[in-house]
């Protein structure tokens, strides 16, 4: 038996059980870790010590976009993230393109994060009991293994927790976030004792091109800022909680990223990062001359990456839930269990697909593919702020973008600047993926969408598919706090 449709009842079909602290922890939990615990091994060889500036650039662009997210989240506080914002402002055709970006962004980043989990799990097991998971079961086929089994197990555990309930998942994630922040503070405190200015001498060996290329690889770790806005239907007082949580997550994440990356490249020659597994743990071990700091950090990374995977899978399921409610994909993804108030079939499908990617695809390609999806989604959010300001100037907004319209314009330009330095193969695969999504829309989605059935369930009612939204908000989804 399915729950009633929220579009018909005017209520959220999911349980509003998440508060400000838990939602801020969602954003921090989905962000801190990926760019620090293992993406440094991909980013430092591209930029050298100047990877610090790569983090700054990624943080600035993400920050400009974050305030755009904050305005939209306060004005239209429902699940669906930038898909919902595009649906509200530019019609369902553009929304479908954004959905393709988000599905790539969340699905692939979940797999990329899970792949890195096995590295730190092996480091932890080796330090504790002197045993490692066999290479054949800890690496993808392209990396000399058969399957990355720890990654598959991690995704299964996260899916089980999400099925149990959103509130339970949020509480577990909040605990994990406190642990991971403590671990990174420990890394900074110990790592700074190994500071060697000589390691920063050849600061930017590959120039600005290397810095922006590394920023592109790093950028996918800022997905957590988007993840906050996927919880719109399950947050208490969403008009205020959503924008506040986004800003808290942004400040916390960017500050820690820059500090940790600075200490890391100052403590170890940049040429040693390439191919280095569990890099931060190994840096601490070399500084202290003992294994215990690396063991603590590896344990923190195991916890951290669990929380990232949990939130990313959560965000993916809620985006699919919203798309299904709009009729853009089959109703299977909109089925809510009446007891747990969670979309169980949706969660199972997402976990199965992400587990396949994590088990058989190498991390380097996954990270870059995720970045392009994130960047395009952020680009659309920047544009959506300007469209909604023009179309709905009187719509109540609990947060407004500062220095409008300069901020959203700079955000959009920043996204395009990073996109231009991604590898051609990455952009080609991305274009192919968007093409597949458009084929789906024109062959299935457009015939089943709620707009075509004259039952507006999106954020703003639209007269026809792909056309501009009507001038008044739809009261069934823009519910009051």
Domains and CATH numbers, the chain: 15-448 (1.20.1740.10)
Give DSSP secondary structure letters for 111-125: HHHHHHHHHHHHHHH
**Spatial distance between the Cα atoms of 65 and 249, rounded to a whole number of angstroms:** 13
| pLDDT score, position 459 | 46
| pLDDT score, position 366 | 60
| pLDDT score, position 220 | 65
Asked whether the CA dihedral 339, 345, 348, 354 is positive or negative, the reply is negative
Task: Copy the structure tokens of residue 130.
Answer: 């002197």
Low-confidence ranges of the chain (pLDDT < 70): 1-15, 33-39, 79, 142, 220-221, 223, 275-279, 362-370, 452-481
Spatial contact of 305 and 148, defined as CB atoms under 8 Å apart? no
C-alpha neighbours within 13 Å on the C-beta side of residue 55: 29
Spatial contact of 449 and 92, defined as CB atoms under 8 Å apart? yes
Tokens 């269990």 belong to residue: 337
**Spatial distance between the Cα atoms of 205 and 208, rounded to a whole number of angstroms:** 9
Spatial contact of 245 and 234, defined as CB atoms under 8 Å apart? no
C-alpha neighbours within 13 Å on the C-beta side of residue 167: 8
**Spatial distance between the Cα atoms of 24 and 306, rounded to a whole number of angstroms:** 17
**Cα–Cα separations (whole angstroms), residue 230 to 79, 118, 211, 216, 224:** 5, 27, 30, 23, 10
pLDDT above 70 coverage of the chain, percent: 85
| pLDDT score, position 439 | 93
Secondary structure of residue 168 in the 3-state scheme: helix
| pLDDT score, position 75 | 81
Cis peptide preceding 143, ω within 30 of 0? no
């Amino acid at each position: 038996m399915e729950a009633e449709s929220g579009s018909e009842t005017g209520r959220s079909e999911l349980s509003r059980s998440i508060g400000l602290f838990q939602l801020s922890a969602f954003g921090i939990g989905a962000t801190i870790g990926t760019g620090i615990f293992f993406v440094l091994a991909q980013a430092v060889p591209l930029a050298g010590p100047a990877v610090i500036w790569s983090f700054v650039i990624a943080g600035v662009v993400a920050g400009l976009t974050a305030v755009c997210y904050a305005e939209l989240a306060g004005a239209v506080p429902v699940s669906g993230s930038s898909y919902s914002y595009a649906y509200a402002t530019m019609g369902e055709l553009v929304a479908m393109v954004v959905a393709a970006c988000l599905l790539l962004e969340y699905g692939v980043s979940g797999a990329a994060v899970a792949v890195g989990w096995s590295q730190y799990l092996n480091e932890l097991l080796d330090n504790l009991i002197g045993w490692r998971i066999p290479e054949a079961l800890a690496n993808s086929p392209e990396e000399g293994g058969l399957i990355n089994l720890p990654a598959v197990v991690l995704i299964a555990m996260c899916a089980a927790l999400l099925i149990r309930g959103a509130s339970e998942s949020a509480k577990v994630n909040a605990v994990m976030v406190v642990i991971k922040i403590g671990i990174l503070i420990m890394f900074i405190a110990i790592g700074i004792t190994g500071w060697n200015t000589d390691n920063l001498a050849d600061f930017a060996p590959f120039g600005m091109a290397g810095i922006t290329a590394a920023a592109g690889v790093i950028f996918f770790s800022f997905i957590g800022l988007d993840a906050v806005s996927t919880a719109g239907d399950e947050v208490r007082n969403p008009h205020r909680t959503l924008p506040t949580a986004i800003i808290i997550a942004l400040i916390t994440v960017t500050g820690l990223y820059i500090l940790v990356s600075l200490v890391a490249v100052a403590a170890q020659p940049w040429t040693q990062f390439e191919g280095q597994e569990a890099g931060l743990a190994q840096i601490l071990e070399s500084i202290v001359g003992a294994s215990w700091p690396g063991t603590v950090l590896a344990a923190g990374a195991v916890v951290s990456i669990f929380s990232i995977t949990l939130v990313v899978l959560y965000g993916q399921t809620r985006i699919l839930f919203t798309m299904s409610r709009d009729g853009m994909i089959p109703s299977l993804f909109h089925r809510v269990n009446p007891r747990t108030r969670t979309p169980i079939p949706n969660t199972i499908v997402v976990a199965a697909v992400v587990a396949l990617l994590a088990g058989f695809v190498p991390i380097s390609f996954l990270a870059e593919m995720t970045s392009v999806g994130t960047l395009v989604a952020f680009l659309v959010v920047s544009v959506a702020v300007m469209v909604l300001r023009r179309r709905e100037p009187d719509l109540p907004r609990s947060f407004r973008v500062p220095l409008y319209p300069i901020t959203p314009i700079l955000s959009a330009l920043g996204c395009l600047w990073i996109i231009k330095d991604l590898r051609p193969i990455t952009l080609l695969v991305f274009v192919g993926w968007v093409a597949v999504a458009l084929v789906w829309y024109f062959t299935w989605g457009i015939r089943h969408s709620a707009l075509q059935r004259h039952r507006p369930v999106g954020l703003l009612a639209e007269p026809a598919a792909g056309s501009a939204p009507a001038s008044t908000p739809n009261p069934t989804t823009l519910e009051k706090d």
